[in-house]
Amino acid sequence: MRKILMALAAVFLLSYRPASVTERPDFERFFAEKKLKGSFLLYDPQRDHYTAYNFERTRQRFLPASTYKILNTLIGLETGILKDENSVMKWDSVKRDVDAWNRDNTLETAFKVSCVPCYQELARKIGLKRMREWVGKANYGKLDINANNLDTFWLEGKSTITQEEQVDFLRRIHEGNVPFAKKNLEILKKIMFIEERQGAKLYGKTGWAASGNPDIGWFVGYVEKGDKVYYFATNVESSKPVPDTFVPARRQITEAILKTMGI
């Protein structure tokens, strides 16, 4: 039996070819223009190829922040707490600094304005047991979820994910290789859509982890262009106080790089 297992392992190793990587140190200029440090990762499944700036950093672990809303949405739909993109996420009447959070939202609008209290209430409704189960089934990052942080674990604390893992999760979602119903994946895709430009459709989600120092910013998603798809994850960091460029730069850097690459 041991010899058979060793033979199978040898065959696997001979047949396995890790994705190739092209490093683009010239992409540093896009980060420098915004006075930020960070890294960029793009995966092209058509060529099984990564394009990266600061590739080693794309394997470092950071809080997922509001990029976790991608998975939180799917869990909410799969558990039946949310029905579709029009499901109402009611305002708790607590006044907050972001005006768009101070009203009832639908799932779609809550996702697009990144309504933190909406998704915190969703997490509480999902509950600890189901949240842990679905995170495990989805094979998403390394999350520290307990009774004391159920509605904050993606924003502060020990939960982490890498850019590589973000890209892999997006790819598995797009290809349907995740334990969620097809209809729920379609609802997620609908609310992740940002815009179409010259035949290319952009889907994505931003995130901002402000609980530590430095602050961490995300923009993750994918582009559909004809019959091709490209998955990306951009991560930026800045010591406090963050510059005015921090919030818009997450998308601006990403889109500038995608444009440079002809995507």
User: Which are the catalytic amino acids?
Assistant: 66
Cβ(39)–Cβ(58) below 8 Å:
yes
| Tokens 């041991």 sit on residue | 2
Q: 112 is written with which tokens?
A: 């697009």
Q: At what angle do helices 69-78 and 128-138 cross, to 10 degrees?
A: 110
Residue 207 near residue 201 (C-beta atoms within 8 A):
no
Long-range contacts of 144-148 (CB under 8 A, 24+ apart): none
Q: Which amino acid is at 246?
A: F
Residue 155: other Cβ atoms inside 10 A: 21
- The values of phi and psi at residue 62, to 5°, are -140, 160
User: CB 54: neighbour CB atoms within 10 A?
Assistant: 20
Compute the distance between CA of residue 77 and CA of residue 180 in angstroms, rounded to an integer.
Answer: 9
Q: How far apart are CA 236 and CA 101, in angstroms?
A: 25
